[in-house]
Structure 1
Amino acid sequence: MRRNDREITDKRAIEEFISKQQIIRIGLIDNGEVYIVPVNYGYTYINGEYTFYFHGAKAGKKYELAGSNPSVGFEIDGKYKLLPSETACGYSAQFQSVIGNGVLSIVDDEDERIEGLNHLMEQLTGKCNYEYSKEMLSSVTVFKLQVKKLSCKAKF
Structure 2
Amino acid sequence: MRPMRRKDRAVTDPAKIRAVLAECQVCRLGLRDGDRVYVVPLNFGLAEREGKQFLYFHGAKEGRKADLIRQGGCACFEMDTGYRLQGGEQACDYTAAFRSIIGEGTVAEVTDPAEKETGLNAVMRQCTGQDRWTYGPAMLDAVGIFRLEVESLTCKEHL
Q: Same fold (TM over 0.5)?
A: yes
- CA distance in 2 between counterparts of 1:46 and 1:65 reads 26
Any conservation in 1 of the 2:72–2:108 contact (CA below 8 Å)? no
- The reply to whether residue 79 of structure 1 matches residue 55 of structure 2 is no
Tell me which residue corresponds to 1:59: 62
Q: Which amino acid aligns with 1:152?
A: C
Q: Which residue does the alignment assign to 1:123? A: 126
Query: Does the 8 Å contact 1:93/1:155 carry over to 2?
Result: yes
Contact 1:28 1:69 in 2 (8 A): no
Distance 2:86 2:6 in 1: 19
1:49 matched residue in structure 2: 52
Q: TM-score scaled by structure 2?
A: 0.94
Cα displacement string for residues 77-108 of structure 1 (whole angstroms, at most 9, x for unaligned residues): 11111110111111011111110100001111
- 1:110-141 Cα offsets, whole Å, 9 max, x none, are 10100110111111111112111222111111
Letter of the structure 1 residue corresponding to residue 139 of structure 2: M
Q: Is 1:2 aligned with 2:9?
A: no
Matched with 2:152 is: 149
Question: Which segments of 5 or more consecutive residues in structure 2 lack a partner in the other structure?
Answer: none
The alignment-based identity, stated in percent, is 41
TM-score, scaled relative to structure 1: 0.96
The question of whether the paired residues in 1 share the 8 Å contact of 2:31 and 2:75 is answered with: yes
Cα deviation, residue 45, structure 1? 2.8
How far 1:49 sits from its partner (Å)?
2.5
Q: Classify the secondary structure of the residue corresponding to 1:43.
A: strand
Correspondence list, 1:18-33, <5 A: 18-33=21-36
Does the CA contact (< 8 Å) of 2:27 and 2:79 recur in 1? Answer: yes
Instruction: Specify the SS of the correspondent of 1:150.
Output: strand
Match of 2:137 in 1: 134
Matched pairs, number: 156
For each residue in 1:4-60, what CA deviation from the matched residue of structure 2 results, as whole angstroms up to 9, or x when unmatched?
Answer: 111111110001110121110000000110100000011113454310001011100
Per the TM alignment, residue 69 of structure 1 is displaced from its structure 2 partner at its CA by 3.0
Aligned counterpart in structure 2 of residue 101 of structure 1, from 94, 100, 104: 104
2:157 partner amino acid: A
